[in-house]
Structure 1
C-alpha cells in the first residue's frame, strides 16, 4: 500500500518545556530588589563622607603571579570584565534555547526583535549626534547604543505589567542582540588596537568549543577550560572579554528531553531502589543528568549566582556617581548630558517601536499572539535604561574626568526617565485596553459528540490533553493519565485532542490521521494504545498493522485515511488550529476544568491540580 497524500493547513510549532511562571516572577522580583538596593547603596556611599573609601575599593589592584608571569586587575575591572561574563553567558543560554526549541523557532517572530535591536542601536547614536555634531563629545556616541539587560529585566519585574512573559522573551532577545552589537562597536571603534594573534586564537577556540558536543565524555571540563581560554584570548586581543560568555553559550547544545534517556534513567533508579549501592547511585544520577540538556542544567546552576551575587556587585561598583551641586550644574548645561538622555530615552523608544511597526506592517515579521505594538512600546521605553556598556564606554571614550561625570549623570538620568516612561506606557495602555491572556483558558468547550472522551460526560472534573502520538511524554507514554483516571474514577472525564508537532515529531500528523480513521469505526482508544506502544515505528506500513491489532476493518480503514470526505484530515486540523489560536507550543499541554495547567504533568501534580480546582468550586 502506498502512503496517502497528506495535506497540512496549519502552522508548525516546536515543543518546549513548561515553565513555572510563579517561580520566575518571584526570582525576578527578588533579584530586581537586590539590584536596586545595591545601586542605592553605591550612590549613597559615593556621596557620603566615606566616598574616598569607595574610590579606593574600586581602584584596589588584585593580582595573580605564576612563576615569572604576573597579571593584575582592579576590583572594578574584575567585576565588569570577568564576573559579568557569567551574566552574558546566562542570557545567551536562554536566548539560544528560545531560538532552538522555544518561542523563537518561528523565524518570522525572531526577525522582529533582531531588526528592532538593530534600529535601537543606530537611531540613538543619530539622536546623540544631533546634540553633539562635532568636537570631543561626538566620539561618545557609543554611550547611548546599549540597553542594560539586567536592569531591563529587573524593571519589568518591578512594574509588573499584565501578562509580561512574552514581552520579557522579546526584550531578552532584543537585549542580547543589542549587547552583541554594542560590544562589536567597542571592538571596532573603541579599541586602541586589535592584536591579530590573540584574535586568531579566539577563532580557533570558538571552533573547538563548537566541537565539544561530540566528545563522548568530559564535556563540562572541556567547556570550562576552553571558555576561560577564550576569555583570555579576547582580553589580549583588545575585544571586550564578556563576549566570551555569549560565544560559549551559543556553542552549548539544547534539546527537549527524549524518551529513551528518560527510560534509561528510570531503569537505573529502579535498580538502585532494589539494591542501593554507590555504583547504582552514580549511574542513576548520571542518567538523570544526561536526560536534561546542558543548556538547562547550566541555567539552573549558574542563574541564581548571577542574579543574587554578580549583578548586585556590578551595581555596587558602577552606580557610585558623585551628585553635588557643581557636577549637577555642569551636567544641566552640557550638550553631552542632554545628548545621552535624548539618545537613550527618545532614540531607543522610537527606534525599537518604529522598527517593530515596520516589520509587522510589511509582513516581514510577526509578533507572537498576545504581543501587540503597545506592549512593545512599553518595553521599548524601558530599553532606554543604559548602564553596563554605557558606563564602560564613558571611561574609554571620554578622557576628561569632568565630562565623564557629566556623561555618567546623563546615563543615570536617562535610566530613571526610561523607567518612569516605561512604567507610564504599561500602566496607561493596560488601563485603556487590557491585554487579553492567550492560551490560559480552553478555547473550545468539550463536546462529547465531537471530542474523544473517556469517562462520564457529566463528570465534575475534566482534563483535556493536547498531544501527539510521537511525543514521549503524552498520555500512555508515561502512564500519568492512567494513574489520574484511576485515582478519580467516575469523577473525571479525560479528553484527547490532536496537536501534532511535525518539526519535532515528523510522523505525528499521520499517526493522528490514522487514529481518526480508526475512530470512525469506534476504535480510537484502541488505536491510540497501539500508537503509543509503538512510538518508534510510526511509518505508514506500520499503521495498517496497528489498525488490525486495534480491531479495525482494514479495507474501511484504508478508504477513510485516503478519502478527504471522511473528515479524518479536518478533525486533526481543527484540533491543531485551536491549539495555534491559543498559541500552544508544547506537548503535552493540559487544561484542568478549562484552565491551562502550569508546571509538571506527572500524575501527582495533575491530581493535586484537579483537587485544587474541585475545592475552588465548592
Structure 2
C-alpha cells in the first residue's frame, strides 16, 4: 500500500507510532513507571484514603470449582504469582549473559563476580553489626540486593558523562548480584520444606532439561509444565519465585535451524512469492497465505526461544509487573516520627548503612584488589573512579530489597515498616551520591 493510498488516520498513526514505540521501550520509561508507582503508593498510604489502600492490598481474589476453592490476597497473588514472571525473565537474562554476554569472558566474569561478592558480603556484615543476636538479624539479606531498573534509570541522568561500557558493567554486576539474592532467598528465606513437593518440582525441571536436549521448542509445552512446577514449588516451602529462575535455565538457547540452512530455505520460500508478486493475495488465496506462514516458520526456527521469550516479556514486566509490585508493596506510612524511628532502629541503621556504605566499600575494595593482583580487568574506557560512582548507585536496592524484606519480616508489621522506610531512604541517598559523584569526576 503506497503512502497516497493510506487514509488520514493511518498516516497520522504512522507519524506517532515510531517516537511512541521508542519512548515505551526506553530504559528510562520503565524506571519512570516504577518511580511513579512508588510515589503513588507513598501518597496513597499517607493520604486520607489510606484505608482504601490497605483494603486494596488485602483484597481477596479467588476461583471456585465445585468444592475446590483458591483464594489469596492481591498482595500474595502479585508477590507469589506475577513476580515469578519477573524472576523467569531474570533467569533468561542470567543464562544469556553466561553464554554470550559479559559473564562469558573469563576476565570480565572474574571481575564482576569479585565485585558482586564484595557488594553482597559487606552490606550483610554491616547489617549484622547492628542486628546481631536480635530477632531482626533475619533481615541481613535485605541490603545485599540492587535494583537494576532504578540503577540504570539514575545512570541515564549522567549518561552523556560516562562511557557506555559502564552501563554494561553495572548490568552484569546486577545480574551476578541477583544470582546471589536468588540463592539467599532459596536457602535462607524458606519455610518448612515439603520434600515431596520439592522433589516433584525438581523432577519436572529435570524433565524440561531433557526436553530442551531433545529439541522441543513448543511454547505451550513449556508453559503447561512450568505452571505445574510453580504450583509444586508454591507448596514446597521454597519461595515460588525460585521456580521462575529454575524454569528459565531450561529454556532452549540454540536455534533449531543453522544459519546456512536458514538462508537457503528462506530464499526458496521468498523466491516462490517473488515469481508471482503481482498476483499474491494472502487474504483470498490460501496457497499464498501458507507460503507467507512458511517464511514466518523458517524465521522462527532460526531464532532462539530464549531470545524470543525475553523480548516478549521485557515490556510486560517493566511496564506492568514491577510497577504493580511497587504500588502494592511501597505504601509505607512516612512521617517525621517514622523517619526518626527508622533511623534509630537497628533494622533501619543496618539497611541504610549496608546499602550506602556496604555496597561502596565492598565493590570498590573487591575491584581494587582484583586490579592490584590482576585477577580481572575492567571494560574499555572504564576506570576505577567510574567503579566508585557505580558502587554508590548500586546502593539503590528498592525492588529486590523490598521483596526480601517482605519474606524476612512476614507477619511483623512494625519491623517491615522500619525496613521499607530504610530502603527508601537508602535508595534516595545512594542515587543522589552516585549521580553527584559521576557528574563531578566527568567535569574534572
Question: Do they fold alike, i.e. is TM over 0.5?
Answer: yes
Deviates more, 1:172-181 or 1:154-163: 154-163
1:417-442 Cα shifts (integer Å, max 9, x gaps): 1111211222122222xxxxxxxxxx
Aligned to 2:60: 61
Q: Distance in 1 between matches of 2:270 and 2:216?
A: 21
Q: Distance in 2 between matches of 1:26 and 1:426?
A: 25
Q: Is 1:75 matched up with 2:74? A: yes
Q: Distance in 2 between matches of 1:170 and 1:231?
A: 32
> What is the deviation of 1:41?
0.9
> What is the deviation of 1:412?
0.7
Q: What pairs up with 1:320-359 in 2 under 5 angstroms?
A: 320-359=331-370
Q: Does the Cα contact within 8 Å between 2:30 and 2:149 map onto a contact in 1? A: no
1:491-512 Cα shifts (integer Å, max 9, x gaps): xxxxxxxxxxxxxxxxxxxxxx
1:419-468 Cα shifts (integer Å, max 9, x gaps): 11211222122222xxxxxxxxxxxxxxxxxxxxxxxxxxxxxxxxxxxx
Aligned to 1:263: 264
- Distance verdict in 2 for CA 1:48–1:126, change over 3 Å: same
Aligned to 1:195: 194
> What is the deviation of 1:360?
2.6
Q: Does the Cα contact within 8 Å between 2:166 and 2:379 map onto a contact in 1? A: no
- Distance verdict in 2 for CA 1:288–1:127, change over 3 Å: same
> What is the deviation of 1:287?
0.6
Q: What pairs up with 1:204-603 in 2 under 5 angstroms?
A: 204-215=203-214, 218-255=217-254, 258-275=259-276, 276=280, 277-398=288-409, 399-432=411-444
Aligned to 1:507: none
> What is the deviation of 1:117?
1.7
For CA contacts below 8 A with separation 6 or more, give which structure has more relative contact order: 2
- Distance verdict in 2 for CA 1:49–1:170, change over 3 Å: same
Secondary structure of residue in 1 paired with 2:238: coil
Q: Distance in 1 between matches of 2:200 and 2:160?
A: 45
Q: CA RMSD in A?
A: 2.4
Aligned residues: 411
TM-score (norm. length: structure 1): 0.62
- Distance verdict in 2 for CA 1:80–1:430, change over 3 Å: farther
- Distance verdict in 2 for CA 1:373–1:246, change over 3 Å: farther
1:298-321 Cα shifts (integer Å, max 9, x gaps): 222221111222122122112111
Aligned to 1:42: 41
Q: Does the Cα contact within 8 Å between 1:92 and 1:176 map onto a contact in 2? A: no
Deviates more, 1:113-122 or 1:93-102: 93-102
Q: Distance in 1 between matches of 2:84 and 2:41?
A: 21
Q: Distance in 1 between matches of 2:155 and 2:80?
A: 25
Secondary structure of residue in 2 paired with 1:170: helix
Q: Distance in 1 between matches of 2:83 and 2:156?
A: 21
Q: Does the Cα contact within 8 Å between 1:212 and 1:223 map onto a contact in 2? A: no
Q: Does the Cα contact within 8 Å between 2:128 and 2:137 map onto a contact in 1? A: yes
Gaps of 5+ in 2: 1-20, 281-287
- Distance verdict in 2 for CA 1:86–1:262, change over 3 Å: farther
Aligned to 2:283: none
Q: What pairs up with 1:95-114 in 2 under 5 angstroms?
A: 95-114=94-113
Secondary structure of residue in 2 paired with 1:116: helix
Q: Does the Cα contact within 8 Å between 1:131 and 1:336 map onto a contact in 2? A: yes
Q: Distance in 2 between matches of 1:312 and 1:131?
A: 31
1:387-424 Cα shifts (integer Å, max 9, x gaps): 23322333343354223222211111011111112112
> What is the deviation of 1:176?
2.7
> What is the deviation of 1:159?
4.0
Q: Distance in 2 between matches of 1:326 and 1:106?
A: 50
Q: Which one has a larger percent helix, Structure 1 or Structure 2?
A: 2
1:524-572 Cα shifts (integer Å, max 9, x gaps): xxxxxxxxxxxxxxxxxxxxxxxxxxxxxxxxxxxxxxxxxxxxxxxxx
Aligned to 1:118: 117
Larger C-alpha radius of gyration, 1 or 2? Answer: 1
> What is the deviation of 1:136?
1.9
